[in-house]
Structure 1
Amino acid sequence: MGRFHRGGRWALRAVGIVVTLACVLAAAGFLWPQPGIDSQPGATERQLAFVRGALDDGADTTAQSQFPEGHLFLNALYGIAWVQAAHIDPQLRDEALRESRWALDRMESEEGRAVFSAELQPAYGVFWAGWTNWLRGAILSLDATDSAGVQRFSDRSAEIAQAFATAESPFLQAYPGQAWPVDSTVAIASLRLHDHLFDDRFTQVIDSWVVQVKERLDPATGLIPHQVSPLDGSPHTGARATSQTMIHRFLPEIDPSFAAAQYARFRELFIAHPGGFGPAVREYPHGVDGRGDVDSGPLVAGISLSATVVGLGAARVNGDAALATAIGAEGELLGLPINLPGSKRYAFGALPIGDAFVVWSSTAHLLTGTPAAIEPDLRWWWRLPWLVCLGLLAVAPWTPPLIALIRRRRP
């Protein structure tokens, strides 16, 4: 019996050592300096290597069965992340061109277009048209010597511009009878990118779009709404973080002044510190409660984890270094990162589309200008609750034996 008792004690001590060591490593990752908004994580190439491996194994097909646009999103985010990374580190240019072109081919394949309607204007709807056009323009921002690619970008941009110019609403349909403003924001950003790279051709369409959007803001928040009437663009669903964070990634590419005002309002209504922890992004504005869905994922104390990840990219392109740093640090703490010599993945690599969103957000970089810096206004002690929890977890395995030792030593 004594041998078994001693063996049990050593097993508990081993578990305690593992728990304490895990907490120390987690704290180290949490406190490790995050990259500035004009740089990117050192693990970017390893993150992209994991996503590429997942794509080779059919992760985009799997994602399509889990999310409405999983196939297109996974390829788009992978390709765009490569371009963004190459803008920050020009040594990655050749690999970025090869990989982003490969991703674009997959987006434009029969499988990539399968869930979209060719009858819409622009063809296959504004979601498919906007993301493919943005990636094509992003590729040309690295290499504009491909004359066929330049012509295709010009033609597709003209098709998108024509659809906006003739529509009654600034928010075009992504699917028959359904319109989300975020999709049109991406498409308009691709037109601005065209004018930034080449001739100033679509300014009138872009400026008219901004005017019409300002006329159709969510009356409750003053922000661009989540879902609208496909007929006239009137709001159906108020602002939600799932689309807001994506909108704020692209709006600075279109109109920096409008974007700055919208981002300030978003920050006021959606950034939260539930229970003292955070910062994180609520799915619904303060004072409004709602359910999660396939876009937001399950909500924890009203927080959308997916919107918080995308919020990292929005913070970077809006010059919000404080929020970008905080979200990045929390991701290293809560995202269960696994670092290997050739790859890095989060949540044990169980959801590659999540890794694609992380690397896209952590490399977010304006292609049409430079962000204006925002004065930090986060709580200076935002790290403290996380560190206290880690400290309590680290000492928890040693508390019972310490109490027993104190009791034995009493007279």
Structure 2
Amino acid sequence: MLRKTTAVVVTLVALLAAGRLVTPADRAGVRGQLAFLRSELDAGAAEQAQGLFPEGYLFMYALYGLAQVSRGRDAADPSSQLREARWALSRLETPAGRGPFSADLTPAYGVFYQGWTNWLRGGILSLRPDPALQRDFEASSAALAAAFDASSSPYLAAYPGQAWPVDSTVAIASLRLHDKLLPPRYAGTVQRWLTGVRQRLDPATGLQPHTVDLETGAPASVARGTSQSIIQRFLVDIDPGFAREQYLRFRSQFVVRPLRLGPAVREYPVGMDGPGDVDSGPLPLGVSLSATAVTLGAAAVAGDRGLARSLASYGELVGVPFSTPWTKRYAAGALPIGDAFVAWSKTARPWVAAAQVPPPPVITPWWRLPFVALLALVVLLAWLPLARWAAARSAGPWPESVGPAAARSAGAGSVGAGSAAARSAGVGSDSAGSAGVGSVGVGLAAAGSAGVGLAAAGSAGVGLAAEGSVGACSVGAGGDEADAGGGQADHEGGRAGPEESDEPVGPLGVAADHGDEEAAGHEDRGDQHPERQHLP
């Protein structure tokens, strides 16, 4: 019973996994994710995320608010999404939201804080006009533009003495959003920024570097997946042409299929390895799970629907989602900030640029085939022990005497010399005379006989003698045997074997005294066996 239950459970899990691989991306599940995130935020998830890395608090509220804005842009009435996004922004504008950042930076609290909050303000404003919010959006946009115009580097500081290109990319995108929603003011700032970026690309990859020198903007480290996945998400709304060039470079150097399975994103370019950090997390096979989740959104805004769908499907498998009628979470909700990134990525769409023309595909739907084959193998292995056990049961109980089957060997109708030789050795098998034609003995597998009574050469597990027996056919399932040559029957189908009787058992499972009885002449006991009906 336990074997069958285990096999059924494994089969159901495999079917569920296969379904997640081949079904379209679950955009409807975002609503459940956001419901889960709201409950987690109310319970202090942002404060807990802050304990994991410096921007945890801001990311929790910013990503939640941005995902709500994206849902609101598709809604006929965005009132509920607007309310939630405003609530998230209000949490970012508190001392707790600004706490990790320095007010002495230019702009105040640094480009990381100003860039993400300004992007969220613009998103909320795109759902519904709000004069007070518009004034805040204009003021923060002006402060960002002034800081970029005054800098000799395209990259502003996020923390004292430290700059990451990804943070400035988000801030510049917010200026482009300003010029879409309000009278344009910052086209010159954006173009100067793009010129500076092109002059300072990472020479190893041709992409924006991960970190730079604060004063000059010169690359300080190679491009990395965690920052590139966010850069590619925002670059489309800054300059679609430059974004396409950068996205194709990123995809060719970071998107891989480890072990020839599903798509994933490396933290370092192909051919290069390095340590992980709080942003990337652990790097199994060089893959960053956080970069992989965010690249789902980057692929979507780049028009790369094939890669976006594949990443979403793969995430539904390896992310182990758990759903209720009201909520959805990944990895049992152990890391809510991961759910925030996934929800933000699943709602991705350009906010400034038009929908992009799909790039040449980098992956085909056939990537799922090895996974489906692997799942099928797991199911087969789960059922195999049960099938073998059932086959053994179908062979019936072992005979009291493994005695002569020489009559079945090569069509002989009487006990031949080979059987006598076998009995004289005390083994009770059909050796010597059977000539390796599949005799049914004590587990000998001559000429393809597969275990005890298992049918060889294509028989369906009903105890048929193996390949090559001439005129011999034993039916183990019902306990009846017939000798085609007119020989005598071996045993009664329902009687216990030696392991079930009180008789001492010798080697190979044969009753210890049975060899003597056989030596006395098995023919003398013929009248103790009822007549068997011969098979036609």
Matched, 1:224 2:208: yes
2:291 aligns with 307
Q: What is the aligned counterpart of 1:86 among 51, 72, 91?
A: 72
2:21 aligns with 30
Instruction: Give 1:52-201 correspondences, 5 Å limit.
Output: 52-91=38-77, 93-144=78-129, 146-201=130-185
| TM-score normalized by the length of structure 1 | 0.94
Counting matched residue pairs gives: 395
2:241 aligns with 257
Distance 1:104 1:408, change over 3 A: farther
1:245 aligns with 229
Alpha-carbon separation, structure 2, partners of 1:178 and 1:219: 21
Alpha-carbon separation, structure 1, partners of 2:390 and 2:79: 63
2:3 aligns with 12
1:191 deviates by 0.4
Query: Conserved in 1, the CA contact under 8 Å of 2:254 and 2:268?
Result: yes
Q: More relative contact order in 1 or in 2 (CA 8 Å, sep 6+)?
A: 1
1:365 deviates by 1.3
1:346 aligns with 330
Alpha-carbon separation, structure 2, partners of 1:120 and 1:395: 62
1:387 deviates by 1.0
Alpha-carbon separation, structure 1, partners of 2:114 and 2:236: 20
- Structure 1 segments, 4+ long, off by >6 Å, are none
| Cα-to-partner distance string for 1:122-144 (whole Å, 9 max, x where unaligned) | 11000000000000000001012
1:178 deviates by 0.6
Alpha-carbon separation, structure 2, partners of 1:408 and 1:15: 25
Alpha-carbon separation, structure 1, partners of 2:125 and 2:199: 33
Alpha-carbon separation, structure 2, partners of 1:179 and 1:58: 29
2:399 aligns with none
Alpha-carbon separation, structure 1, partners of 2:38 and 2:115: 23
Question: Whose helix proportion is higher, 1 or 2?
Answer: 1
1:392 aligns with 377
SS of equivalent residue, structure 2 residue 237: helix
Identity across aligned pairs (percent)? Answer: 52
1:83 deviates by 0.5
Alpha-carbon separation, structure 2, partners of 1:281 and 1:338: 24
Matched, 1:382 2:367: yes
Alpha-carbon separation, structure 2, partners of 1:408 and 1:25: 37
Alpha-carbon separation, structure 2, partners of 1:110 and 1:49: 25
Query: Conserved in 2, the CA contact under 8 Å of 1:278 and 1:382?
Result: yes
Alpha-carbon separation, structure 1, partners of 2:49 and 2:453: 60
Alpha-carbon separation, structure 1, partners of 2:192 and 2:261: 42
SS of equivalent residue, structure 1 residue 377: coil
Query: Conserved in 2, the CA contact under 8 Å of 1:321 and 1:373?
Result: no
Alpha-carbon separation, structure 2, partners of 1:359 and 1:105: 20
Alpha-carbon separation, structure 1, partners of 2:452 and 2:34: 56
Mark the structure with the bigger radius of gyration: 2
SS of equivalent residue, structure 2 residue 328: strand
* Aligned amino acid, residue 204 of structure 1: G
User: C-alpha root-mean-square deviation of aligned residues, in Å?
Assistant: 1.2
Query: Conserved in 2, the CA contact under 8 Å of 1:24 and 1:394?
Result: no
Alpha-carbon separation, structure 2, partners of 1:43 and 1:83: 16
| TM-score normalized by the length of structure 2 | 0.72
* Aligned amino acid, residue 397 of structure 1: A
1:405 deviates by 4.4
Unaligned runs of 5+ in 1: 1-9, 36-40
Unaligned runs of 5+ in 2: 392-450, 455-464, 466-536
Alpha-carbon separation, structure 1, partners of 2:176 and 2:228: 20
1:385 deviates by 1.5
Instruction: Give 1:325-344 correspondences, 5 Å limit.
Output: 325-344=309-328
1:408 deviates by 4.2
1:90 deviates by 3.2
Alpha-carbon separation, structure 2, partners of 1:156 and 1:324: 33
Alpha-carbon separation, structure 1, partners of 2:188 and 2:218: 22
1:314 deviates by 0.1
1:11 deviates by 2.2
Alpha-carbon separation, structure 2, partners of 1:236 and 1:170: 14
Query: Conserved in 2, the CA contact under 8 Å of 1:272 and 1:280?
Result: yes
SS of equivalent residue, structure 2 residue 268: coil
1:196 deviates by 0.6
Query: Conserved in 2, the CA contact under 8 Å of 1:130 and 1:187?
Result: yes
Matched, 1:211 2:202: no
1:376 deviates by 2.0
Query: Conserved in 1, the CA contact under 8 Å of 2:4 and 2:386?
Result: no
Q: Which moved more, 1:371-380 or 1:275-284?
A: 371-380
1:19 deviates by 1.8
